[in-house]
């Protein structure tokens, strides 16, 4: 039987891309780009340290795809314009120089938008108000407004925005695209019964609620071709409702992952607080187990998997294929290299996450600050 290092540091494959090990940096909201959505030198340094630290791949923070309703946070980066795309190019080049892959996560905030430079209006599948206040860590204050429902024509425009952003990501040199279908953002709002009360082809059954994601997979794949990685991120929890569970439980999950397994995606990325505990109650399966069994796709597990023994176990029993780290990567951006060389791995339960105020951007936090200053914030991954 393979040991921990052999399981976690051996090569893996998704699509036609070889990953040098099984560790991936999870997407984390940074709110550190320029006001115009162009990633800057601060963002460049943020991603560079993970590539130098030995991670096989990095999934970007959520990138907004259009100049309409998709932006979620002030100082969030975009791929909505040619200028934004050009600003990503040197960052992508740096990642590749350090032998890491770079995947662009495309995200439409929907009703959870709290800092859009293009409009104050929010949209959702149906009339919907997120259940908690805006996220203070990302510059939000007070309650969310009521989002208005999208028309069919607007949904078509949203699809076009994703496709155009995917093409820009490809032109910038990214190795893949991840569709953000998790954590309560727009694609997840379509998946969830509470936020999707539509009576048309996009609402009702889980198959209908999946339609937007499935359509995007088809259209993005057609736009970028077969060689570019294409994945989707899925979760039960929302940024504004961390305890949310799918009403249909394990059965709904089986239907969802079976449907995704029929699409042309290369992988499924799961977002959880703790990937080691049953996802639907004490006697249920792990989320990664359900996803792997019913989709038959490579699975990236994410959620409290900083302990190599626990991460290796999931891979050994074939319940996931890759491990995404968020908080641990912030504290030790050279985590894979440290693990490979037998150096101490820091145990961190919570990580300082500084809000960008144009003086101290979140991505500018030094390793020393991260190691010394730990606070109560539990959820920094998207």
The beta-strand segments (E) located in the chain are 12-14, 17-19, 23-25, 57-63, 101-106, 123-124, 148-149, 176-183, 229-238, 267-271, 299-302, 322-325
Closest CA to 183 of 256, 121, 130: 130
Q: Are 203 and 291 in contact (CB under 8 A)?
A: no
Strands 12-14 and 17-19: antiparallel
Instruction: Spot the catalytic one: 23, 138, 185, 267.
Output: 185
Q: Distance (Å, rounded) from C-alpha 349 to C-alpha 377?
A: 9
Burial of 228: CB neighbours in 10 Å, binned 0-12, 13-18, 19+? buried
* β 57-63/23-25 pair status: parallel
What contacts 24+ positions apart, CB below 8 Å, involve 195-203? 195/111, 195/124, 195/125, 195/126, 195/128, 196/125, 196/126, 197/125, 197/126, 197/127, 198/125, 198/126, 198/149, 200/152, 202/125, 202/155, 203/125, 203/126
Contact 235, 192 (CB under 8 A): no
DSSP of 174-211: -SEEEEEEEETSHHHHHH-TTT----STTSSSHHHHTH
Q: Is 185 a catalytic residue?
A: yes
Token pair in block for residue 49: 């340290």
What is the rounded distance in angstroms from the CA atom of residue 286 to the CA atom of residue 277? Answer: 6
Sign of CA dihedral 244, 230, 25, 316: positive
Which residues are catalytically annotated? 185
């Amino acid at each position: 039987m393979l040991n921990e290092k052999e399981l976690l540091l051996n090569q893996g494959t998704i699509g036609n891309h070889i990953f040098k090990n099984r560790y991936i940096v999870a997407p984390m909201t940074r709110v550190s780009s320029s006001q115009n959505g162009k990633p800057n030198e601060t963002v460049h340094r943020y991603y560079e340290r993970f590539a130098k630290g030995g991670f096989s791949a990095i999934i970007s923070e959520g990138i907004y795809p259009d100049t309409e309703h998709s932006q979620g946070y002030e100082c969030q980066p975009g791929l909505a314009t040619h200028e934004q795309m050009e600003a990503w190019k040197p960052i992508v080049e740096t990642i590749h120089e350090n032998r890491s892959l770079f995947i662009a996560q495309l995200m439409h905030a929907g009703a959870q938008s709290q800092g859009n430079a293009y409009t104050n209006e929010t949209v959702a599948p149906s009339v919907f108000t997120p259940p908690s206040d805006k996220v203070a860590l990302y510059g939000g204050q007070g309650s969310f407004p009521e989002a208005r429902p999208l028309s069919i024509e607007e949904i078509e425009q949203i699809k076009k925005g994703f496709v155009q952003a995917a093409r820009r990501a490809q032109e910038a040199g990214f190795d893949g695209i991840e569709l953000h279908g998790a954590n309560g953002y727009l694609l997840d709002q379509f998946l969830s019964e509470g936020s999707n009360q539509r009576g048309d082809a996009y609402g009702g059954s889980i198959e209908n609620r999946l339609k937007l994601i499935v359509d995007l997979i088809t259209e993005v794949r057609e736009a970028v071709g077969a060689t570019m990685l294409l994945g989707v991120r899925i979760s039960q929890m929302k940024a504004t409702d961390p305890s949310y569970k799918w009403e249909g439980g394990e059965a709904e999950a089986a239907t969802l992952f079976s449907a995704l397994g029929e699409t042309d995606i290369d992988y499924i990325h799961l977002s959880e607080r703790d990937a080691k505990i049953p996802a639907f109650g004490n006697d249920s399966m792990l989320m990664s187990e359900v996803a792997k069994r019913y989709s038959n796709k490579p699975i990236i597990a994410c959620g409290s998997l900083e302990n190599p023994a626990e991460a290796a176990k999931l891979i050994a029993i074939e319940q996931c294929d890759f491990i995404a780290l968020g908080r641990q990567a912030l504290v030790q951006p050279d985590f894979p290299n440290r693990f490979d060389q037998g150096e101490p791995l820091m145990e961190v339960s919570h990580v300082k996450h500084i809000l960008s105020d144009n003086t101290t951007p979140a991505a500018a936090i030094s390793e020393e600050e991260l190691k010394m200053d730990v606070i109560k914030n539990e959820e920094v991954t998207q």
